């Protein structure tokens, strides 16, 4: 049952071959028996109440395609009645009085919330080891990281603890954990999915999206996720192109004549040979499907790391100023005066990586350094976006390459070296800085004794609003390969 896709589960629910209540119980018992630390909280009573409501809709004939299908929410989307921690001690006991727009939309669609899943604290990280509630274990190999920051979302899908999960991507956090866990994820064009109720990390980059087993499932989820929201000031309007589309409409288009840009910068020094092999094999598969490969260059790729690690911390330092012990979450129990209360509260509530980002962000924004760092970074951000436009308007329809330079690394391997973590983001950051949609689909495994069980992801990047195209490309690949159907041993 748990190996079924959303599409298949939806068919079974509509045919009354299974009830949402049975399905929900099945996943809840899997979650309770699992040892991956993917889920931070479950609440069977709340889940089963939603499942019962979904069963009524299914019986009445008012159900939509997602009604009764269970979903796990990244614990950065606020949920009424459930704790929302953002992976931080700061919010360890926080219960939001309202639902994030994304959660509200899935609730209205009749989906059943299975629980809240683990993440790096405030979504800052690439390995899930920055979670205040212990890291998630990669279901493929308990010694490996699941990727981050949406490690809980990706691991939940890989371990078949949920058929669907929400996630967020600021610099790669949907694509990289999807790659490390061998599942499918898509980060939409910036501004298509509402950020309302998605706890802010870097507001000009943060974007929600789905993780599931297949591209087709991601399309079904995006149908309900995307759309203008007046409560988010950066949400794109229909006039700006954020239309309600059916993301499944192009899934079956043939790929004949598709021009795939292959950036030389994504295959250079630093790319592990086993990852390169799997990605190149996937590219060959696309040639068999009728596509042509075009060599392209994205010359500013190497600048994406310094640019991102100025802009993201700058925005984070501002966004996180609200956690002051007065308005939300944790407050130090003993303090001398107001200043002392702020200091102790923030020193106790935030983990080391979050503190590091606040320090960096405050530094690059301060008078005297603002022009030298922040303004420069904004200018380079534009140049990075221009690189993509030069390629996507003149040379190719989409761009493909690896998601990350290596397969998942060992837990503990990079915990004392923040820069090593940052370097692993090299292939995902530029897409985020440019605001483009990007996808990760499973395309093989590493090689050698250790890596042979660790998945490799193929990244597919398109121009603004090209989500339906990306999903079409991914779906066609998944019709002729079975990487997305593989599950870790024992699942
Ligand atoms: N790894 C990146 C970071 O640490 C991206 C995280 C994300 O996309 N949320 O900031």
Report helix, strand or coil for 134.
coil
Structure tokens at 452: 């042979």
| Phi–psi pair at 106, nearest 5 degrees | -70, -35
Domain count, the chain: 1
Give the model's pLDDT for residue 61.
96
Q: Does any domain span residue 363?
A: no
Q: Which residues contact residue 260 at a Cβ distance below 8 angstroms, ignoring those fewer than 6 apart?
A: 283, 286, 291, 292, 293, 294, 396, 397, 398, 399, 400
Q: Does any domain span residue 395?
A: no
- Confidence label for 10 from pLDDT (cuts 50, 70 and 90): very high
Whole-angstrom distance, CA of residue 180 vs CA of residue 121? 19
Q: Does any domain span residue 126?
A: yes
Q: Does any domain span residue 90?
A: yes
Q: Identify the residues whose C-beta falls under 6 Å from ligand 1.
A: 123-126, 149, 169-173, 201, 312, 425
The mean pLDDT value of the chain amounts to 97
Nearest CA to ligand 1 atom 10: 124
Structural domain containing residue 75: 6-256+471-485
pLDDT digits (tens, 9 = 90+) for 405-447: 999 999 999 998 999 999 999 999 999 999 999 999 999 999 9
What is the spatial order of strands in the sheet that 455-461 belongs to? Answer: 39-41, 112-117, 70-74, 164-169, 207-212, 184-187, 438-445, 455-461, 398-402, 259-263, 292-296
Q: Does any domain span residue 15?
A: yes
> Is 74 one of the annotated active-site residues of the chain?
yes
pLDDT digits (tens, 9 = 90+) for 138-160: 999 999 999 999 999 999 999 99
Q: If you write DSSP's letter for every residue of 175-193 in order, what string do you get?
A: HHHHHHHT-EEEEPPTTSB
Average pLDDT estimate for 395-412: 98
Q: What is the β-pairing status of strands 398-402 and 259-263? A: parallel
Give the model's pLDDT for residue 308.
98
- Residue pair 276/269 in contact (Cβ under 8 Å)? The answer is no
Give the model's pLDDT for residue 257.
97
pLDDT digits (tens, 9 = 90+) for 345-379: 999 999 999 999 999 999 999 989 999 999 999 99
Structure tokens at 362: 């405050």
pLDDT digits (tens, 9 = 90+) for 253-296: 999 999 999 999 999 999 999 999 999 999 999 999 999 999 99
Give the model's pLDDT for residue 79.
98
Q: Does any domain span residue 478?
A: yes
**pTM of the full predicted structure?**
0.98
- Confidence label for 9 from pLDDT (cuts 50, 70 and 90): very high
Nearest CA to ligand 1 atom 5: 171
Average pLDDT estimate for 172-182: 98
Q: Does any domain span residue 97?
A: yes
Give the model's pLDDT for residue 195.
98
Instruction: Identify the CATH number of the domain in which residue 123 sits.
Output: 3.90.1300.10
> Is 447 one of the annotated active-site residues of the chain?
no
Catalytic residue (choose from 96, 173, 235, 440): 173
Among 87, 146, 171, residue to substitute to test ligand 1 (most atoms within 8 Å of Cβ)? 171
| Phi–psi pair at 475, nearest 5 degrees | -65, -45
Whole-angstrom distance, CA of residue 397 vs CA of residue 391? 8
pLDDT digits (tens, 9 = 90+) for 80-110: 999 999 999 999 999 999 999 999 999 999 9
Q: Does any domain span residue 139?
A: yes
Cα distances (Å, whole numbers) of residue 170 to 67, 116, 295, 338: 29, 19, 27, 33
> Is 131 one of the annotated active-site residues of the chain?
no
CA of 15 to the centre of ligand 1 (A): 41
Q: Classify the C-alpha dihedral 194-243-475-278 as positive or negative.
A: negative
CA of 475 to the centre of ligand 1 (A): 26
Q: Tokens 């999960």, residue? A: 165
Average pLDDT estimate for 195-212: 98
- Residue pair 222/186 in contact (Cβ under 8 Å)? The answer is yes
Give the model's pLDDT for residue 107.
98
What atom of ligand 1 comes closest to residue 174's alpha carbon? 8
């Amino acid at each position: 049952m748990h190996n079924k896709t959303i599409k298949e589960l939806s068919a079974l629910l509509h045919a009354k071959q299974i009830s949402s209540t049975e399905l929900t119980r099945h996943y809840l018992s899997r979650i309770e028996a699992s040892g991956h630390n993917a889920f931070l909280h479950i609440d069977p009573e709340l889940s089963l109440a939603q499942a019962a409501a979904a069963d009524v809709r299914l019986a009445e004939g008012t159900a939509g395609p997602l009604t009764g299908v269970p979903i796990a929410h990244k614990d950065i989307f606020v949920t009424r009645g459930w704790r929302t921690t953002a992976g931080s001690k700061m919010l360890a006991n926080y219960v939001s009085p309202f639902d994030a727009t994304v959660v509200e939309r899935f609730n209205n669609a009749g989906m059943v919330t299975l629980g809240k899943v683990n993440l790096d604290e405030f979504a800052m990280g690439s390995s899930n080891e920055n979670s205040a509630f212990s890291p998630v274990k990669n279901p493929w190999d308990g010694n490996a990281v699941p990727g981050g920051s949406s490690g809980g979302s990706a691991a939940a899908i890989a371990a078949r603890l949920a058929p669907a999960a929400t996630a967020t991507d600021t610099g790669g956090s949907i694509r990289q954990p999807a790659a490390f866990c061998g599942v499918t994820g898509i980060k939409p064009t910036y501004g298509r999915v509402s950020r309302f109720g998605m706890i802010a990390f870097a507001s000009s980059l943060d974007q929600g999206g789905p993780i599931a087993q297949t591209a087709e499932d991601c399309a079904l989820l995006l149908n309900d996720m995307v759309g203008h929201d007046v409560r988010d000031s950066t949400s794109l309007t229909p006039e700006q192109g954020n239309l309600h589309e059916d993301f499944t409409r192009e899934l079956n288009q043939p790929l004949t004549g598709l021009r795939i840009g292959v950036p030389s910068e994504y295959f250079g020094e630093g790319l592990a040979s086993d990852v390169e092999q799997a990605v190149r094999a996937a590219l060959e598969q696309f040639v068999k499907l009728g596509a042509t490969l075009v060599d392209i260059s994205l010359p500013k790729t190497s600048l994406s790391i310094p640019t991102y690690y100025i802009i993201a911390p700058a925005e984070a330092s501002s966004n996180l100023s609200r956690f002051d012990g007065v308005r939300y979450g944790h407050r130090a129990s003993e303090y001398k005066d107001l200043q002392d209360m702020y200091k102790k509260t923030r020193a106790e509530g935030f983990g080391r990586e979050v503190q590091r980002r606040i320090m960096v962000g405050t530094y690059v924004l301060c008078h005297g350094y603002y022009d030298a760092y922040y303004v420069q970074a904004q200018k380079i951000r534009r140049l990075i976006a221009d690189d993509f436009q030069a390629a996507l308007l003149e040379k190719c329809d989409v761009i493909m390459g690896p998601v990350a330079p290596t397969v998942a690394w060992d837990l503990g391997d990079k915990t004392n070296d923040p820069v090593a973590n940052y370097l692993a983001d090299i292939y995902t950051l530029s897409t985020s800085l440019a605001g483009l949609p990007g996808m990760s689909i499973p395309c093989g495994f590493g090689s050698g004794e250790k890596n042979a069980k660790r998945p490799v992801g193929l990244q597919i990047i398109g121009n603004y609003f090209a989500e339906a195209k990306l999903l079409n490309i991914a779906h066609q690949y998944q019709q002729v390969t079975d990487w997305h159907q593989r599950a870790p041993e024992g699942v």
